[in-house]
């Protein structure tokens, strides 16, 4: 008869979970030694592994659910308003011990988010309160603006100590924007081998594969067998903390294949590495732009990829976690640029910095708005003769602007992802013109009827409808041709497209509507 009482594992796990946390509880349950005289499937140790026909994972889930019910929301979002206020109150009191007790249990990404949330004066106080307890991984998680502010508050020796504990790509991220003299002062305190690797990475262009790659990797010759490789992985002291593939290199250190780590662990020891390696691989030149690296990872479903120098020798590896950050950064950059924000900007920037970043393109928008006003001024007499034109003309320009922005957004994204290429350009242009025509026709029928009924003038409704069709077609053309033209001249379409597209739709919309009105109605 099966015992239905709570298994030993549940009680054992919950008690340790209560005092030491989940990680210790997992370890303790697996490492628990059965008492003397107890063995076999009915002993308490086996009950720990399969109590009530449940796996240990199920028991852990039940224990966590029992102990932590009602706390899921706090675990999902540790930086709740109440938590942040508590940290700020401790800072205001100058109670650094309480600040550390609150902040240090957070994971590095959450600590970085907290640093990004506070004001500049609070940031200084928080960094000083954490002192040497501030983990190096926090620096690599920070946005650039906040990262630079935090680094300014740190002594060069503390920065050097943090850099030594980081992966090479994170160390480059920390140092790349520092002034040359400060950078040199920090690197002088880094061991020679690590310093040489970092300096070599800093020589590559900004936002290139050479900047985001890790220089720590695992490479073996093809004539090794699986046993030698496993022994090497166990005994070597300078291997990366985490890796997914083993690179196979020839005597010139050129990569000739890769072996997934899982395949090595499943293969018998005498099998040569060259018999189980994948010959087909994606090699990324160190000078490659990081956006192109991300596209290759997406296209070929890569987890990691070898980075090679101009002689095709292996110099580093790009991993998927680095590419995820690149994708997020590039997407944020494109969104900012579509809004006319050219330089890096974050919510932590000061009012003066934000104003300076946004002024230039706002000034360009002002000039284009004046151009649209000049077009309206050409028909001043027409507008004075019929006030209804002043009421309806913003509709034509607004609909054209929105339609053009839709097409432009798709075009800019397609150019960035290499989906819009010369071979399909004419087809995409034709499609956008037809879409503009059909949408223009539908909205022309709608707004033509509205205009005719509103002002009791069918001719006015007809003019409104015709102008709507013309402007929607031009919106489709401008939305696709402007990004293509800018890209052809080497200008980032994400930066300048919106200004030109809006100008075209405003000018054409006003000119078509007021011009047709002057011909037909007056």
Domain boundaries, the chain: 8-66, 70-150, 155-203, 219-338, 351-520
For residue 66, what pLDDT is reported?
37
Angle formed at CA 390 by CA 388 and CA 393, multiple of 5 degrees: 100
8 A C-beta contact, residue 346 and residue 146 = yes
* Cβ neighbours around 195 below 10 Å, total: 18
Q: What is the CATH number of domain 351-520?
A: 1.10.357.20
Q: Beginning with the edge strand found earlier in the chain, give each strand of the sheet holding 314-319 in spatial order.
A: 283-285, 304-308, 314-319
- Residue 278: phi and psi, rounded to 5, are -90, 120
The closest alpha carbon to 253, from 232, 283, 227, belongs to 283
CA–CA dist 146, 139 (Å, integer): 9
Give me the tens of pLDDT residue by residue for the chain, a chain 522 residues long.
Answer: 444 444 434 333 333 333 344 444 444 443 344 444 444 444 433 334 333 333 333 433 333 433 333 343 444 668 888 999 999 999 999 899 999 999 999 999 999 999 988 888 888 999 989 888 888 899 988 988 888 889 988 888 889 999 988 888 889 989 988 888 989 999 999 998 889 989 999 999 988 999 999 998 999 999 999 999 999 999 988 888 888 899 999 999 999 999 999 999 999 999 999 999 999 999 999 999 999 999 999 999 999 999 999 999 999 999 998 899 888 888 887 777 777 776 666 666 778 878 887 888 788 889 888 998 999 999 988 888 888 999 999 999 999 999 999 999 999 989 988 889 999 999 999 999 999 999 999 999 999 999 999 999 999 999 999 999 999 999 999 999 999 999 998 888 888 888 899 999 999 999 999 999 999 887
The helix (run of H) or strand (run of E) holding residue 306 is: strand 304-308
8 A C-beta contact, residue 205 and residue 287 = yes
* Cβ neighbours around 223 below 10 Å, total: 10
3-state secondary structure of 213: coil
Give the pairing type, strands 245-249 and 219-220.
parallel
Residue 294 to residues 318, 355, 399, 411, Cα–Cα distance (Å) = 10, 32, 35, 19
Residues 6+ away with beta carbon under 8 Å from 114: 79, 84, 87, 103, 106, 126
The closest alpha carbon to 258, from 242, 271, 276, belongs to 276
207: DSSP letter: T
What is the greatest pairwise CA distance in the chain?
108
The helix (run of H) or strand (run of E) holding residue 305 is: strand 304-308
Residue in this structure with the two tokens 């990691």, named with its chain if needed: 304
8 A C-beta contact, residue 214 and residue 169 = yes
Q: What is the CATH number of domain 219-338?
A: 3.10.580.10
Question: How many CA atoms lie less than 13 Å away from 343 in the CB half-sphere?
Answer: 12
Residue in this structure with the two tokens 């970043």, named with its chain if needed: 357
E strand map for 136-282? 219-220, 245-249, 255-260
Give the pairing type, strands 304-308 and 283-285.
parallel
CA–CA dist 187, 181 (Å, integer): 10
For residue 46, what pLDDT is reported?
38
Residue 91 to residues 115, 155, 161, Cα–Cα distance (Å) = 13, 21, 26
């Amino acid at each position: 008869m099966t015992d239905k009482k709570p298994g030993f594992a549940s009680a054992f796990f919950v008690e340790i979970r209560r005092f030491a946390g989940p990680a210790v509880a997992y370890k303790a349950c697996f490492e628990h030694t059965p008492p003397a005289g107890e063995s076999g499937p009915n002993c308490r140790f086996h009950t720990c592994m399969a109590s009530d026909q449940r796996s240990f994972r199920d028991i852990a889930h039940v224990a966590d659910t029992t102990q932590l019910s009602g706390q899921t929301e706090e675990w999902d979002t540790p930086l709740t308003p109440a938590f942040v206020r508590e940290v700020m109150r401790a800072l205001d009191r100058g109670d650094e011990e309480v600040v550390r007790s609150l902040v240090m249990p957070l994971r590095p990404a959450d600590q970085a988010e907290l640093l990004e949330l506070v004001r500049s004066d609070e940031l200084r106080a928080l960094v000083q309160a954490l002192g040497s307890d501030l983990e190096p991984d926090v620096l690599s998680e920070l946005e650039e603006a906040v990262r630079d502010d935090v680094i300014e508050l740190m002594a060069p020796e503390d920065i050097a100590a943090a850099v030594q504990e980081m992966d090479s790509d994170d160390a480059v991220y920390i140092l790349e924007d520092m002034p040359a003299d400060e950078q040199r002062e920090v690197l002088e305190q880094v061991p020679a081998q690590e310093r040489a690797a970092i300096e070599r990475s800093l020589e590559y262009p900004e936002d290139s594969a050479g900047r985001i790659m890790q220089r720590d990797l695992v490479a073996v010759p093809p004539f090794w067998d699986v046993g030698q490789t496993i022994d090497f992985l166990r005994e070597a002291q300078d291997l990366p903390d985490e890796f997914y593939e083993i690179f196979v290199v020839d005597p010139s250190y050129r990569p000739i294949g890769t072996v997934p780590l899982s395949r090595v662990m499943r293969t018998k020891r005498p099998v040569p590495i060259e018999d189980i390696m994948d010959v087909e691989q994606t090699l990324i030149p160190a000078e490659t732009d990081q956006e192109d690296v991300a596209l290759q990872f997406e296209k070929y479903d890569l987890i990691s990829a070898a980075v090679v120098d101009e002689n095709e020798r292996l110099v580093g590896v790009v991993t998927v976690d680095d590419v995820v950050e690149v994708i997020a950064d590039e997407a944020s950059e494109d969104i900012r640029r579509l809004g006319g924000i050219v330089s890096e900007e974050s919510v932590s920037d000061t009012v003066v910095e934000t104003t300076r970043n946004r002024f230039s393109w706002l000034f360009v928008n002002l000039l284009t708005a004046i151009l649209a006003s000049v077009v309206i001024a050409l028909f001043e007499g027409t507008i004075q003769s019929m006030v209804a034109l002043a009421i309806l003309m913003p509709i034509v320009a607004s609909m054209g602007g929105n339609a053009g922005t839709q097409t432009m957004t798709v075009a800019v994204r397609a150019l960035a992802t290499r989906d819009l290429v010369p071979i399909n350009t004419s087809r995409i242009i034709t499609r956008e013109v037809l879409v503009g025509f059909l949408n223009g026709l539908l909205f022309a029928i709608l707004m033509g009827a509205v205009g005719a009924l509103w002002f009791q003038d069918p001719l006015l409704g007809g003019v409104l409808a015709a102008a709507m069709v013309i402007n929607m077609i031009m919106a489709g053309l401008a939305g696709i041709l402007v990004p293509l033209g800018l890209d052809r001249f080497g200008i980032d379409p994400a930066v300048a497209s919106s200004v030109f597209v809006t100008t075209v739709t405003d000018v054409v919309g006003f000119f078509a509507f007021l011009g047709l009105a002057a011909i037909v109605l007056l």
